[in-house]
Structure 1
Amino acid sequence: MEVIVFLVPLALLLGLFGLLGFLWSLKNGQYDDLDGAAWRAISGDDETPAPPASS
């Protein structure tokens, strides 16, 4: 039962680190363009040229 004395503060500290990490990512613009990466993945604009045919 005395392990709760260590686990509760540890859980609160880890939660605080998670919250601070999330707020940091919001501040640095990590969530600004959520649709852009999805459309770039399926757009096909970056087609690689076919290798030259060897004869």
Structure 2
Amino acid sequence: MNVLLLVIPIALALGTLGLFAFLWALRSGQYDDIEGAEYRVLHDD
């Protein structure tokens, strides 16, 4: 039972950290050009 007092806050902190990382990636434009990546692979520079 004492382990839950340690594990639950750690899980909540990691979940919050993951949410903030996703929101940062969303705001910085990481997901803007999803279709362009598949065509860039085919181009030989």
RMSD of aligned residue pairs (Cα, Å): 1.0
Gaps of 5+ in 1: 47-55
Tell me: higher relative CO, structure 1 or 2? Use CA pairs within 8 A at least 6 residues apart: 2
Q: How does 1:1-55 map to 2 (within 5 A)?
A: 1-42=1-42, 44-46=43-45
Q: How many residues align?
A: 45
Runs of 4+ residues over 6 Å off in structure 1:
none
More helix by share: 2
Gaps of 5+ in 2: none
Rg larger in structure: 1
TM-score, length basis structure 2: 0.90
Identity of aligned residues (%): 51
